[in-house]
Amino acid sequence: MKTRRDFIKLSALGSAAVLTNSCLASEKENNKKKTSQNKITKPIVISTWNHGVEANASAWKILNKGGTSLNAVEAGVRVTESDPNNSSVGIGGLPDRDGFVTLDACIMNHENECGAVAFLQDIENPISVARKVMEDTKHVLLVGEGAKQFAIEKGFKETNLLTEKSKVAWEKWKEQSKYQPVINSENHDTIGMLALDEKGNLSGACTTSGMAYKLHGRVGDSPIIGAGLFVDNEVGAACATGMGEAVIRIAGSAIVVELMRNGLSPYEACKEAVNRIVKKHKDLTNLQVGFLALNNHGEHGGYSVYKGFNYALQTNTQNEMIDTKFNKKSTR
Ligand code: SD4
């Protein structure tokens, strides 16, 4: 039987919970108010890692002239895909353990239209094939041989994506055949790009050669809408980089957008998603994940499991790299 004292204790606990919830709710409310009072920053483009600077410059040429965010993100990430010196995206990407360069990409616009390709070989610009899937078919995702056939039918050229440099690296790796993902290095870094155009429309693109020396047939988060990328024009957009399996497990980018819908800032939403990953993995060794988000007011933010994630930002007044905050300083 509950005594009066128990009842008072319970009531006190109840009030504390109500208070905590109402504090959280008022913080969210404040964020919402702040956002609606702020002037919208547009156009704006952000993208993951150092290679984002060059990619943003190409996207900016389109945004700056009043072009669409969709054209901007496609043109932007194509720069990285076509750079043979970049070993994690497009041509020059490090191969899987059997020596095949297999590419994953997706694109999404302000009308929730999206397209993706996965496990695509011999085509330099998978993001443009993903856009064709979005615009010319009723499907969202094409994979492997079917995706390649589709690309060729659409006029894409077959290209050998395994550069001499990547082949040499793969042959060296084969001496030990040890799969050891290295975080924050150029062999494990996707480009994800988010843009808001002059009309206030958001789009995003994500493209990668995935983890170096992965199992043949492995597909990560980058071509999965809701995992590697998600856009909802009513709220914002998000993309992910890092260990794709961990991102897929929490439907990462969709979660970041939902958190922003509930009133969190882009930074807070990325942080909450990363914290969820940290909480749900017993072994975090080398498990780097970074999220990047942009809301429809042009506010942006990012957060990662480990120190070392950064993103490139370009607006009318800013062109800079931003280091994100992180959950853990060292990799163990
Ligand atoms: C993946 N997130 O395939 C992608 C690419 C990557 O660091 O390795 N990024 O898991």
Residues 32 and 179 in one domain: no
pLDDT digits (tens, 9 = 90+) for 168-195: 999 999 988 776 655 554 445 799 999 9
Say if residues 149 and 172 touch (Cβ distance below 8 Å): no
Confidence at residue 28, expressed as pLDDT on a 0 to 100 scale: 62
Question: Could you give the angle at the alpha carbon of 44 between the alpha carbons of 220 and 291, nearest 5°?
Answer: 30
Between 37-41, 97-101, 250-254, the lowest mean confidence (pLDDT) is in: 37-41
pLDDT digits (tens, 9 = 90+) for 268-281: 999 999 999 999 99
Residues 321 and 282 in one domain: yes
Report the Cα 107 to chain-centroid distance in Å: 11
Does residue 122 sit within a domain? no
* Closest-lying ligand 1 atom to the alpha carbon of residue 219: 3
Top-confidence residue, 48 or 21: 48
* Other beta carbons within 10 Å of 37: 8
Q: pTM of the full predicted structure?
A: 0.89
First to last CA, the chain: 49
Residues 255 and 182 in one domain: yes
CA–CA dist 76, 62 (Å, integer)? 9
Residue nearest to atom 10 of ligand 1 (CA): 244
Top-confidence residue, 65 or 32: 65
Residues 191 and 244 in one domain: yes
Residues 54 and 71 in one domain: yes
Does residue 245 sit within a domain? yes
Helices (H), 175-321: 244-249, 252-261, 266-280
Length of the chain (residues): 332
Question: Residue 195: exposed, middle, or buried by beta-carbon count in 10 A (0-12, 13-18, 19+)?
Answer: buried
3-class DSSP assignment, residue 314 = strand
Residue nearest to atom 3 of ligand 1 (CA): 210
Say if residues 187 and 209 touch (Cβ distance below 8 Å): no
Ligand 1 centre distance from Cα of residue 316 (Å): 30
Confidence at residue 19, expressed as pLDDT on a 0 to 100 scale: 42
Whether residue 41 lies in the annotated active site: no
- Cβ of 93 below 6 Å from ligand 1: no
pLDDT level of residue 4 (50, 70, 90 thresholds): very low
pLDDT level of residue 286 (50, 70, 90 thresholds): confident
Residues 56 and 29 in one domain: no
Does residue 264 sit within a domain? yes
Confidence at residue 41, expressed as pLDDT on a 0 to 100 scale: 93
- For 83, the domain range is 41-90+175-328
pLDDT digits (tens, 9 = 90+) for 36-50: 556 899 999 999 999
* Closest-lying ligand 1 atom to the alpha carbon of residue 228: 2
Confidence at residue 5, expressed as pLDDT on a 0 to 100 scale: 45
Helices (H), the chain: 4-37, 52-63, 69-81, 126-136, 144-153, 164-174, 244-249, 252-261, 266-280
pLDDT of 213 strictly over 80: yes
Does residue 35 sit within a domain? yes
Confidence at residue 285, expressed as pLDDT on a 0 to 100 scale: 87
Ligand 1 centre distance from Cα of residue 41 (Å): 29
Residues 28 and 80 in one domain: no
Residue with tokens 């082949």: 167
Which amino acid is it at 117? V
Top-confidence residue, 25 or 63: 63
Does residue 150 sit within a domain? no
- Number of domains comprising the chain: 2
Q: How far is CA 162 from CA 96, 122, 195, in A?
A: 11, 9, 30
pLDDT of 236 strictly over 90: yes
pLDDT of 314 strictly over 60: yes
CA–CA dist 262, 259 (Å, integer)? 5
Residues 181 and 240 in one domain: yes
Residues 279 and 257 in one domain: yes
Average pLDDT for residues 213-235, to the nearest whole number? 97
Residues 260 and 318 in one domain: yes
CATH of the domain at 287: 3.60.20.30
Ligand 1 centre distance from Cα of residue 241 (Å): 6
Choice among 190, 207, 241, 315 that is catalytic: 190
